[in-house]
């Protein structure tokens, strides 16, 4: 078990504190609600998010959550996390602990069909350990359906970590 200062905390998306997570939350809330009660990824225009696009990733959900592949990976994520992941599947992530943690997180989003906010410190990337961040994940449905097709994520690093 990690010391309390390094554990992840979760909260309702109304508790966003970081500018980037607030921006994505407001954008997501402003999109039209489609079948299944969620916005469709077909309605997303990344240019609408140009101020935070470098902090964003977009994952395609494969076979209801069997895997996830990065459709888009912002340059700030590469800089802050130390790896480029455009086109990479989550099942290929290393180290294993990070892959398993993220896979579990994304499966939870697909199952709950709900956005999730986390505040934590990086634990699984050796050369980036202890960097605080706030992250918001928001789900999207496939156009004309109610299946979760994509998860958009925005990270803001060096924010207030959990107490």
Q: What is the CATH number of domain 4-157?
A: 3.30.450.20
Instruction: List beta partners, residue 42.
Output: none
For the segment 65-94, the average pLDDT, to the nearest whole number, is 94
Sort strands 56-62 and 148-157 into parallel, antiparallel or unpaired.
antiparallel
pTM for the predicted model, two decimal places: 0.88
pLDDT surpassing 80 at residue 157: yes
Q: What is the pLDDT of residue 145?
A: 86
Q: Measured between alpha carbons, how far is 100 from 28 in angstroms, rounded to an integer?
A: 27
d(CA 10, CA 79): 25
In terms of Cα–Cα distance, which of 119, 105, 120 is closest to 151? 105
Show the tokens assigned to 156.
């803001």
Instruction: Using pLDDT thresholds of 50, 70 and 90, give the confidence band for residue 129.
Output: low
Provide the pLDDT for residue 9: 60
pLDDT at 122: 72
Confidence class of residue 127 from pLDDT cuts 50, 70 and 90? low
Length of the chain: 163
Q: Is the dihedral of CA 92, 18, 111, 61 positive or negative?
A: negative
Q: How confident is the model at residue 36 (pLDDT cuts 50, 70, 90)?
A: confident
Which are the contacts of 83, defined by CB distance < 8 A and separation ≥ 6? none
Quickly state the pLDDT bin for 159 (edges 50, 70, 90): low
pLDDT score of 139 more than 80: yes
In the Cβ-directed half-sphere of 133, how many Cα atoms lie within 13 Å? Answer: 21
């Amino acid at each position: 078990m990690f010391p309390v200062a390094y554990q992840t905390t979760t909260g309702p998306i109304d508790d966003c504190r970081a500018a980037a997570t607030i921006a994505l939350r407001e954008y997501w809330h402003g999109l039209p609600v489609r079948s299944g009660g969620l916005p469709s990824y077909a309605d997303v225009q990344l240019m609408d998010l140009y101020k935070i696009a470098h902090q964003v990733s977009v994952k395609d959900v494969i076979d209801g959550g069997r895997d996830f592949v990065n459709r888009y990976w912002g340059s700030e994520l590469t800089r802050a996390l130390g790896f480029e992941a455009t086109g990479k599947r989550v099942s290929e992530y290393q180290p294993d602990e990070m892959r398993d943690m993220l896979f579990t997180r994304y499966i939870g989003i697909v199952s709950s069909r709900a956005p999730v906010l986390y505040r934590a410190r990086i634990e699984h990337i050796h050369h980036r350990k202890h960097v605080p961040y706030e992250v918001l994940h928001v789900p999207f449905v496939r156009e004309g359906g109610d299946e979760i097709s994509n998860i958009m994520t925005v990270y803001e690093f060096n924010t207030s970590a959990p107490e």
